[in-house]
């Protein structure tokens, strides 16, 4: 039987660099030029199958716009196993912002987190402001995965999620952290509030 | 900020964040702001840097406390009652998916100078030193009466009427001693003072049932607690609000509540910017906090004070069976006070501090001009205290219901050991704002495959 792993993946990056579009392309293979942010979706999931038939299920958290005014809660990247930090290759400032997020992750997130730096809007490369050399050199120095993508055409999108899946530690048992929905057995120390009250509810006496 | 909103919410405490989440789900366009650069307001959990910045701005955290990021120190001590209203809201809004919980390991009560476990099973009850043999028998009759109570069956009422007879009369009916009354009223019904004794027994009955059903749910204590601290609760509801379109701005100074000619809410000014909305909801600190606010109006009044001492320990609390988390209640009669003293302790099991550190908060309602002395009986139980941070916080209550001027003000966090009164406030504000009762419907699963 093939093994399945589940991981929490968080998206980070400045507003309007295409974070949600990137995920929409990856999860539903869709793109919409004038897309409003998703209302009511806590997170999306998508599965990647590796060559050895191991499947990696991503629980993908979008910022829900909370990054816009520097108001992303620490809860957001708590227990994240991987992060895709997105910048827009046509906006130099967006790479600087991405670097800020990466520093924040290095400071606050789990030290084993896999971080991918992703230069989006490759379809607009005629207006490119961030060179491949500049971004890849930075990624190398920081030990990050790096690639360029176009959520619009789909170029490079699956590749970056596949690369993350390969880099995640698949030797350990499925992570109980972050992806708690996948591994109920590993969180039995904790209380599950979706569970129905036990039958002895009515008869217990504390005297 | 130049858009118009339905609701501006000020302060990201739990009350405000639950409201923000619920109103966003209802389709309201919400702008939520906080003057701090962190979520949670008075109900935040802070890392060491934030914690020292708040309490001792001139001192950096001692290095032997460990890593900054391991800490999430609560500012108010509260636990979640397992079968209480907050859990219902968490389940119904599906905010649970952002949180993990652990039990609080034990509930203790102070009697005659020492602490004993509040029994959670009949075996524990039989061994408990809290009551003598005959008193145990009488108490057993009392609890059998509570469990056997059926509204429609007068035979189960033993001639008592819960809506008319006082709790005093019920205690007398079973011949319970004052010490047992303290235990029942304070450690099970969780009353902070003895006013309940002269009131109809119904609410005491309901509170004991809540305690026992909560206890039965997980076993060790009636309480659960979110990993990484209570501050996770407001953050989770803020995310709920955001995924339903709510806009969040932290680190935003609020300089003025702008009123129109007839004194009704018009907008909020921050620096040069003014943002307008139909109404504002906020915690008392944004509305004068007991002093006159805009237009010379007093919007909130002080309704007592709570003293809280956040204590860092390097050992579990003595006499609690090395528990990683506990509640200890010191009933007022035991220490000649009007109000109980509470101790709430959590530790690294709950991911709120480094290993081998224990965070205990001792609190009570202030009765004298020397509040810190009042919590001495509680501090005394902790053993040696590594460090201590004391606050005295006024409890503010709004003077108006907000319907007139569209300014809806929430209540301060009170001295109770749980969130039930917070949820009452949420229901109350929601009803005033929306003109209808909050109906808790479970959301459709929104995880897209």
Ranges of chain B with pLDDT below 70? 1-2, 290, 293-296, 441-449
For the stretch B192-239, pLDDT in tens is 999 999 999 999 999 999 999 999 888 889 999 999 999 999 999 999
Residues B311 and B390 in one domain: yes
Terminal alpha carbon distance of chain B? 35
Residues B184 and B263 in one domain: no
Q: Is residue B448 domain-resident?
A: no
- Contact assignment for B39 to A73 by CB distance below 8 Å: yes
Torsion angles phi and psi, residue B155, rounded to 5: -60, -25
Residue of B328, B244, B288 lying closest to B6 (CA atoms): B244
For the stretch A111-123, pLDDT in tens is 899 999 999 999 9
Residues B212 and B146 in one domain: yes
Spatial CB neighbours of B198, under 8 Å, sequence gap ≥ 6: B166, B167, B168
Residues B427 and B289 in one domain: yes
Given its phi and psi angles, is residue B291 left (phi above 0), alpha (psi -120 to 50 degrees) or beta?
beta
**CATH code of the domain containing B259:** 3.50.50.60
B290 near B396, Cβ under 8 Å?
yes
- Placement of tokens 């405000």 in the chain: B16
Domain endpoint, select from B218, B248, B266: B218
pTM: 0.90
B180 near B135, Cβ under 8 Å?
yes
Residues B297 and B404 in one domain: yes
Instruction: Indicate the residue of B87, B98, B212 with minimum beta-carbon distance to A193.
Output: B87
Query: Which residues between 321 and 360 in chain B have a beta carbon less than 8 angstroms from any beta carbon of chain A?
Result: none
| CB < 8 Å to B136, chain A | 207
Query: Which residues between 27 and 86 in chain A have a beta carbon less than 8 angstroms from any beta carbon of chain B?
Result: 27, 37-45, 63-66, 68-71, 73-76, 78
Distances (CA, A) of A93 to A10, A129, B251: 21, 9, 22
Cα angle B275, B235, B78; round to 5: 120
Instruction: Indicate the residue of B87, B235, B448 with minimum beta-carbon distance to A41.
Output: B448
* Distance separating alpha carbons of residues B405 and B221, to the nearest angstrom: 44
The domains of chain A are located at 4-202
| CB < 8 Å to B83, chain A | 197
Residues B190 and B325 in one domain: no
Instruction: Indicate the residue of B102, B140, B243 with minimum beta-carbon distance to A64.
Output: B243
Residues B73 and B26 in one domain: no
* Distance separating alpha carbons of residues A116 and A107, to the nearest angstrom: 16
Residues B214 and B124 in one domain: yes
Residues B408 and B383 in one domain: no
Q: Which DSSP state fits A49?
A: E
Task: For residue A60, list its beta bridge partners.
Answer: A9, A44
B448 near A27, Cβ under 8 Å?
yes
Residues B124 and B214 in one domain: yes
- CATH code linked to domain A4-202: 3.40.50.300
Q: Assess whether pLDDT exceeds 50 at residue A201.
A: no
| CB < 8 Å to B227, chain A | 190
Residues B292 and B405 in one domain: yes
Determine the pLDDT at residue B295.
Answer: 63
Domain endpoint, select from B218, B240, B255: B218
- Residue B196 is part of which domain span? 119-218
Helix, strand, or coil (residue A178): coil
Determine the pLDDT at residue B23.
Answer: 97
Instruction: Indicate the residue of B91, B224, B446 with minimum beta-carbon distance to A191.
Output: B224
For residue B393, give both structure tokens.
Answer: 């916080």
Q: Which DSSP state fits A68?
A: T
**CATH code of the domain containing B93:** 3.30.519.10
| CB < 8 Å to A207, chain B | 119, 122, 125, 136, 139-140, 142-143
- Contact assignment for B91 to A206 by CB distance below 8 Å: no
For the stretch A127-180, pLDDT in tens is 999 999 999 999 999 999 999 999 999 999 999 999 999 999 876 555 444 444
Helix, strand, or coil (residue A185): helix
Spatial CB neighbours of B423, under 8 Å, sequence gap ≥ 6: B18, B84, B85, B86, B89
Half-sphere exposure at residue A141, Cβ-oriented, CA atoms within 13 angstroms: 9
Answer whether A206 touches B (CB < 8 Å). yes
For the stretch A28-83, pLDDT in tens is 888 887 766 656 677 889 999 988 888 999 999 988 888 888 888 989 988 899 99
Determine the pLDDT at residue A70.
Answer: 84
Domain count, chain B: 3
Q: How far is A100 from chain B (nearest CA, A)?
A: 16
Query: Which residues between 116 and 135 in chain B have a beta carbon less than 8 angstroms from any beta carbon of chain A?
Result: 118-120, 122, 125
* Strand pairing class (A114-120; A82-88): parallel
Determine the pLDDT at residue A169.
Answer: 80
């Amino acid at each position: 039987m093939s093994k399945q792993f589940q991981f929490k993946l968080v998206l980070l990056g400045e507003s309007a660099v295409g974070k949600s579009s990137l995920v929409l392309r990856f999860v539903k293979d869709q793109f919409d030029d004038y897309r409003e942010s998703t209302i009511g979706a806590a997170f999306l999931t998508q599965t990647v199958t590796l060559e050895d038939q191991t499947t990696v299920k991503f629980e993908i958290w979008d910022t829900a716009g909370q990054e816009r005014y520097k108001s992303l809660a620490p809860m957001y990247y708590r227990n994240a196993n991987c992060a895709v930090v997105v910048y827009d290759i046509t906006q130099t400032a967006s790479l600087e912002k991405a670097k800020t997020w990466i520093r924040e992750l290095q400071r606050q997130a789990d030290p084993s987190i896999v971080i991918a730096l992703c230069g989006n809007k490759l379809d607009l490369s005629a207006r490119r402001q961030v060179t491949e050399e500049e971004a890849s050199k930075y990624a190398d120095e920081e030990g990050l995965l790096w690639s360029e993508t176009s959520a619009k055409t789909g170029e490079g999108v699956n590749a970056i999620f596949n690369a993350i899946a390969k880099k995640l530690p698949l030797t350990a048992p499925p992570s109980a952290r972050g992806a708690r929905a996948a591994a109920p057995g590993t969180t039995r120390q904790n209380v599950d509030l979706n569970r129905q009250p036990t039958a002895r509810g009515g008869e217990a006496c504390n005297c | 900020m130049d858009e118009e909103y339905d609701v501006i919410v000020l302060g990201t405490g739990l009350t405000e964040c639950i409201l923000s989440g619920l109103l966003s789900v209802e389709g309201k366009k919400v702008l939520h702001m906080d003057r701090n650069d962190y979520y949670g307001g008075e109900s935040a959990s802070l890392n060491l840097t934030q914690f020292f910045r708040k309490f001792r701005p001139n001192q950096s955290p001692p290095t032997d406390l460990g890593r900054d990021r391991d800490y999430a120190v609560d500012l108010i001590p509260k636990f979640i009652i397992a079968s209480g209203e907050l859990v219902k809201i968490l389940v119904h809004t599906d905010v649970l998916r952002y949180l993990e919980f652990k039990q609080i390991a034990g509930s203790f009560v102070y009697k005659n100078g020492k602490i004993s476990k509040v029994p959670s099973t009949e075996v524990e009850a039989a061994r408990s030193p809290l009551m003598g043999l005959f008193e145990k028998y009488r108490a057993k009759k009392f609890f059998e009466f509570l469990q056997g109570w059926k509204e429609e069956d007068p035979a189960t009422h033993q001639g008592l009427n819960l809506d008319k007879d006082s709790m005093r009369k019920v205690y007398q009916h079973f011949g319970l001693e004052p010490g047992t009354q303290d235990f029942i009223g304070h450690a099970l019904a969780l009353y902070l003072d003895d006013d309940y004794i002269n009131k109809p027994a119904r609410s005491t009955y309901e509170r004991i049932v809540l305690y026992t059903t909560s206890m039965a749910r997980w076993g060790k204590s009636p309480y659960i607690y979110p990993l990484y601290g209570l501050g996770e609760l407001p953050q989770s509801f803020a995310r709920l609000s955001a995924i339903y379109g709510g806009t969040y701005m932290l680190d935003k100074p609020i300089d003025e509540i702008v009123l129109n000619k007839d004194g009704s809410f018009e907008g909020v000014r921050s620096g040069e910017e003014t943002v307008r909305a139909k109404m504002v909801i906020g915690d008392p600190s944004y509305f004068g906090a007991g002093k006159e606010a805009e237009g010379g109006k007093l919007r909130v009044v002080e309704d007592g004070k709570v003293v809280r001492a956040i204590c860092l320990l390097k050992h579990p609390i003595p006499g609690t069976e090395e528990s990683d988390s506990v509640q200890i209640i010191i009933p007022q009669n035991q220490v000649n006070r009007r109000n109980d003293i509470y101790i709430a302790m959590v530790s690294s099991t709950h991911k709120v501090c480094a290993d081998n550190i224990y965070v205990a908060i001792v609190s009570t309602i202030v009765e004298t001009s020397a509040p810190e002395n009042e919590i001495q009986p509680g501090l005394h139980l902790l053993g040696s205290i590594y460090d201590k941070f004391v606050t005295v916080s006024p409890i503010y209550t709004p003077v108006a219901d907000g319907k007139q001027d569209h300014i809806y003000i929430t209540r301060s966090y009170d001295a109770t050991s749980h969130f039930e009164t917070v949820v009452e406030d949420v229901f109350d504000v929601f009803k005033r704002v929306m003109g209808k009762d909050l109906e808790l419907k479970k959301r459709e699963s929104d995880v897209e495959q």
